[in-house]
Structure 1
Amino acid sequence: MKSIIIFYLLCFAFVDAFAQNSENTCEGKQDSILHKFVYTKVDEAPEPVDGFLKINEVITKNLKLPPSTNYYGLTIIVFVVEADGQIDGQRVKRDPSGDEHLLGNQILRNIATLKWKPGKCNGKPVPCMYSIPINLDPSLSE
């Protein structure tokens, strides 16, 4: 049994890519890692093909914590969902394991195994920045 339960927040307040109203309000910026334009606000947000619950399932099943560690708190991962649904430009914004990014890098590897529906602007698939905050709380162990 895992000694840690993972909760992730997929609130649109925390996600860089979020759906807008019917007006053309798509926005973006030059990505410093990919060196290309990516959208940060789209008409239709990217999502995993198997649904958002699949994210929790994949992370909970595959996250391996080093023995005798006390890592808990907020991990924030950021990536770009490309127009073809591939993941690119992965980065860790925050990780309780520090500069080593032990947790964030594991989570990114797991997220990259999922198939994604791309974000859309004016009905067309576009590369879209996406972030996921994940709260690791060992006090909620099974």
Structure 2
Amino acid sequence: MNTQSNRPGDRAPGTGPSAPSTRPHALVPHKNPRVDIKRSYRLTFEIGMVLALLTMIGLIRAPLKDTSEFEVVLAEQEIVEIEEIQQTRQEIKPPPPPRPRVLQVVSDDVILDDIELDLDAGFDMNEAPEYLPPPPPAPPSDEPVEEEEEAEIFVAVEEMPELIGGLASVQECIRYPEIARKAGVEGRVIVQFVVNQDGRVTDPIVLKGIGAGADEEAVRCVLQARFKPGKQRGKPVRVKFSIPITFKLRDAGTQ
């Protein structure tokens, strides 16, 4: 029996240098730079884009010639003449100035003493009051009457009017009104009037009254009074005057 030993350097059967190799050789790519597909594609794309842009620009700039024929008919315009109307301005007249108001000054400075009437309350109620008739009018004069303009009314003059007969003449004229007596009405009535150049009383006005017929009685007696006319620079003038008249009832037991 032969035994073979594995020595170093011994080759395995079939592994000698003369044994042919069965591994296929690796393939090495070889490219021709002149026929590079990617490079030629990019160049062709750029050239195409340039040509497309040039064609588009040429179409836009090229003048378009329209071969169709048409006729434009313009309708005749109607001319309307507008007449200018001149505007008229209406003049507004200013309103007339208001008349000056004449203020009548009421002076309380010229007032006679109060006339206090102490009448007996026990007077017979059935007795009718006696009223004095008004004085008769003055007889007509043969002298021509001169039309005089309304004289100025003074409030204060150099010589004030004087009551002829004094306050007693007015007191004797007063009759206590029956209504005021029954109702027990008392108080002061102030009468304002004008003393004319002849001493007569005109335009009486009740400045303060108490009613119940006392105001009318005071006016009646004032109209019957006569005055010495007031004077200004020695000439008779119209003067405004006031008299307060007090109506007062007296008890039967009072003296």
Mark yes or no: TM-score above 0.5: yes
Normalised by the length of structure 2, the TM-score is 0.38
Q: Is the 8 A contact 2:152 2:237 kept in 1?
A: no
1:68 has 2:182 as partner: yes
Structure possessing the higher relative contact order (Cα contacts under 8 Å, 6 or more residues apart): 1
Is the partner of 1:75 in helix, strand or coil?
Answer: strand
Residue in structure 2 matching 1:50, options 137, 157, 165:
165
1:120 has 2:235 as partner: no
**Distance (Å, rounded) in 1 between the aligned partners of 2:251 and 2:153:** 37
The equivalent residue for 1:37 is: 152
The equivalent residue for 2:244 is: 133
Gaps of 5+ in 1: 1-12, 18-34
The equivalent residue for 2:68 is: none
**Distance (Å, rounded) in 1 between the aligned partners of 2:157 and 2:111:** 9
Q: Is the 8 A contact 2:191 2:205 kept in 1?
A: yes
Q: Quote the RMSD (CA, aligned, Å).
A: 2.6
User: Residue type of the partner of 1:118?
Assistant: P
Moved runs in structure 1, 4+ residues, more than 6 A?
A: none
1:57 Cα deviation (Å)? 2.0
**Distance (Å, rounded) in 2 between the aligned partners of 1:84 and 1:112:** 14
Structure (1 or 2) with the greater strand fraction: 1
Pair 129,50 (structure 1): closer, same or farther in 2 beyond 3 Å: same
Is the partner of 2:216 in helix, strand or coil?
Answer: helix
1:52 Cα deviation (Å)? 2.8
Gaps of 5+ in 2: 1-107, 113-149
Q: Give identity over the alignment, percent.
A: 27
User: Residue type of the partner of 2:215?
Assistant: G
Pair 38,65 (structure 1): closer, same or farther in 2 beyond 3 Å: farther
1:110 has 2:205 as partner: no
The equivalent residue for 1:6 is: none
1:128 Cα deviation (Å)? 0.6
Q: Is the 8 A contact 1:14 1:132 kept in 2?
A: no
Cα offsets for 1:70-109 (capped at 9, x unmatched): 2211110010000111111111011111xxx721221111
Structure of larger gyration radius: 2
Q: Is the 8 A contact 1:43 1:120 kept in 2?
A: yes
Pair 16,137 (structure 1): closer, same or farther in 2 beyond 3 Å: closer
What is the number of residues matched between the two proteins?
Answer: 108
**Distance (Å, rounded) in 1 between the aligned partners of 2:198 and 2:226:** 10
1:16 Cα deviation (Å)? 5.6
**Farther-moved stretch of structure 1 (105-114 vs 86-95):** 105-114
The equivalent residue for 1:15 is: 110
